[in-house]
Structure 1
Amino acid sequence: MELSVAHPAVKAFMCGSFSGTCSTLLFQPLDLVKTRLQTLQSTVQPGSGRVGMMTVLLSVVRTERLLGLWKGVSPSFARTIPGVGIYFSTYYSLKQHFYQDDRPGPLPAVLLGGGARTVAGVLMLPVTVIKTRFECGRYSYVSVSGALRSVCQTEGPAALYSGLMPTLLRDVPFSAIYVMFYSQTKAALPSEVGASPSAPLANFSCGILAGVLASLITQPADVVKTHVQVNPQLRTAEAIRYIYTEHGAQGFFRGALPRSLRRTMMAAMAWTVYEQMMAHIGLKS
């Protein structure tokens, strides 16, 4: 099917998938470092902020070489390419159905972002579980398909949905907050900026601003999600108690720097690429 004759929602899916591919390839090392920081054993005391991040990054390069920073990129692609496509096509379909040509306000933007992320998050959770396990370094999976078979055979299919609640508690608020701030900051820009050659840079800057706040608010849920998916015997409440007992309140913000960098940059790039591609093919994003 040629893009020019495809259904608008299919076009949105393809634009979203392309934007997700670019951002995943660039920022996978930050996701791996974030996962390693969050799953450090209690006997290891990483430094705070940039020190902890750099310590883990250098350790990965020393023990697994430079390409080790892209460990887990295969499940990341398997999750992000269809996942971002599903997210943007759902977002586009909901926006066209409920708001059509109207510019949604803050509350509608929250509902659109949260609704699209719920659909994508539930559908892609099995691959998210595999991706987290690849990155943590505790499992010796060879491929995504092999990992899926191994989990189903040894732990049962239900293990592929471990961490569903903290995942949704992380991703749905992140997307809702992000879309709200992104859409409102874009709307506040002078109209001549949106029509100028610097529009992509302005959109990217709006995305950075929205992403920082959304990342920090949802960081505790991300830490809980990682522990549940790496240790599927833990329930959400047990993971929360474990993190607090072992690391205190600051444990819920382990990996905040690499995650904030990655999520902010990925979201900003994905939305910028998506909107430019949609404009190129004549659709309003």
Structure 2
Amino acid sequence: MELSLAHPAIKAFLCGCVSGTCSTLLFQPLDLIKTRLQTSQSGPQPGSRRVGMVTVLRSVVRTERLLGLWKGVSPSFARTIPGVGVYFSTYYSLKQHFLQDGSPGALQAVLLGGGARTAAGVLMLPVTVIKTRFECGRYSYGSVSGALRSVCRTEGPGALFSGLMATLLRDVPFSGIYVMFYSQAKASLPKEIRTSGSAPLANFTVGILSGILASLITQPADVVKTRVQVSPQLRTAEAIRNIYVEHRLQGFFRGAVPRALRRTLIAAMAWTVYEQMMAGFGLKS
């Protein structure tokens, strides 16, 4: 089948790219702080001071200046812009193929969100690995392309897919849970709100509430994923054991606040922008 810019799936891809650009630029500092918290080596020893968001923020600004908070934004753009585009175009295509009309039920929403995230997650994983390494501050890559070449040369192409299982265990449930709560909550809004000028604000609020729950449920997998991608010699089971030994159970929730803020705001903004742009194209999202 021939595709053109007029094809609905292409329009969904373009809408996703725009929403990904906006959300990445705004919320990159939260992602960097989350990564630094998760890769901090401080343990739970008696008398040790707990490293928090404010401490990391001050440290980054002091040592790397204010723009240091946007370190890793290039790989974030390289991952998120096409990644969100792939996500929404896959979601739209799956929904049109299996549902045609009407809103998805709870289980259907989980499958649609999870399926779309699987496609985007696997496709963009190499850039996700590079993004995580940029943000952690342990690597001195000069560019995304240079980092990809360096990893392939020194560690082998397989390193670009480190943390695949942890990434899918984090992203697929997050997307499924998020889409389920978002679609069901949005459908329960009164018709006068859904058809009024305040609909985008209402949808954004629903997205925030859905994102908070989805973020907290999937936080442990995010911590494991970050550890494996920063130290690719670790297997997932070894990373889980190391995190528990170093930080006990609370270690699996390190960086929960900045991640919840970022993922929630990004998801809410992405869906709001996507739906508004699709409506502008005359398409039902």
Q: Partners in 2 of 1:244 and 1:47 — Cα distance?
A: 16
Q: Which residue of 2 aligns with 1:225?
A: 225
User: Who is 2:40 aligned against?
Assistant: 40
Q: Name the CA shift for 1:192/1:46 in 2 (closer, same or farther; >3 Å).
A: farther
Q: Alpha-carbon deviations, 1:116-160, whole Å to 9, x = none? A: 000000000000000000000000001000000000000000000
TM-score by length of 1: 0.96
Give the Cα separation in 2 of the matches to 1:71 and 1:171.
Answer: 22
> Contact 2:43 / 2:246 at 8 angstroms: preserved in 1?
no
Q: Matches of 2:147 and 2:100 in 1, distance apart?
A: 42
Q: In the aligned structure 2, how far is the partner of 1:46 from the partner of 1:211? A: 30
Structure 1 distance, partners of 2:42, 2:58, is 20
* Aligned equivalents of 2:202, 2:61: Cα separation in 1: 35
Aligned residue pair count: 280
- 2:214 paired with 1:201: no
Change (3 A) 1:46 1:197: farther
| Matching of residue 92 in structure 1 with residue 95 in structure 2 | no
- SS of the equivalent of 1:269 reads helix
Structure 2 partner of 1:103: 103
Name the aligned partner's letter for residue 9 of structure 2: A
Shift of 1:47: 3.1
Q: In the alignment, what sits opposite 2:173?
A: 173
Change (3 A) 1:5 1:123: closer
Equivalent position amino acid for 1:7 in 2:
H
Distance 1:5 1:259 in 2: 34
Structure 2 counterpart of 1:262: 262
2: CA distance between counterparts of 1:167 and 1:233?
16
Q: Which amino acid aligns with 1:14?
A: L
**Distance of 2:78 and 2:101 partners within structure 1:** 33
1:276 aligned partner: 276
Q: Which residue of 2 aligns with 1:150?
A: 150
> Residue 8 of structure 1 aligns with which residue?
8
Quick one: distance in 2 between partners of 1:185 and 1:59?
A: 40
Structure 2 length-normalised TM: 0.96
* Displacement of 1:5: 5.1
**How far apart, CA to CA, are the structure 1 residues paired with 2:161 and 2:5?**
36
CA distance change for structure 1 residues 141 and 46 in 2, over 3 Å: closer, same or farther? farther
Matched to 1:209, the amino acid is L
Matches within 5 A, 1:243-258: 243-258=243-258
Asked whether 1:117 is paired with 2:117, we answer: yes
The residue correspondences of 1:30-69 to structure 2 (distance < 5 A) are: 30-43=30-43, 45=48, 47=50, 52-69=52-69
Instruction: Please state how far the C-alpha of 1:43 moved relative to its aligned partner.
Output: 4.9
* 1:135 counterpart SS class: helix
Q: Does the aligned pair in 2 maintain the 1:4–1:281 contact within 8 Å?
A: no
Work out the CA distance in 2 between the residues paired with 1:154 and 1:46: 36
Deviations 1:245-280 (A, max 9, x none): 011000000000000000000000000000000001
Change (3 A) 1:147 1:128: same
Residue type matched to 2:133 in 1?
R
Q: Which residue pairs with 1:19 in the alignment?
A: 19
What is aligned with 1:74?
Answer: 74
Contact 2:4–2:10 (CA<8 Å) still a contact in 1?
Answer: no
Identical positions, percent: 82
Assess if the C-alpha contact under 8 Å between 1:133 and 1:229 holds in 2. yes
Deviation at 1:6, TM superposition (A): 1.7
Greater mean alpha carbon deviation, residues 100-109 or residues 162-171: 100-109
Instruction: Give 1:102 deviation, angstroms.
Output: 1.8
Give 1:192's aligned amino acid: E
Gaps of 5+ in 1: none
> Structure 2 stretches of 5 or more lacking a match?
none
Contact between 1:118 and 1:168, CA under 8 Å: does it hold in 2? yes
Counterpart residue identity of residue 89, structure 2: S
C-alpha RMSD of matched pairs (Å): 1.3
Question: Runs of at least 4 residues of structure 1 off by over 4 A?
Answer: 43-46
1:73: Cα distance to partner? 0.1
- Residue 190 of structure 1 aligns with which residue? 190
Looking at structure 2, the residues matched to 273 and 58 of structure 1 have their Cα atoms a distance apart, in angstroms, of: 32
Q: CA deviation at 1:101?
A: 1.2
Q: Distance in 1 between matches of 2:173 and 2:196?
A: 32
Please give the alpha-carbon distance, in whole angstroms, between the structure 1 residues aligned to 2:119 and 2:49: 36
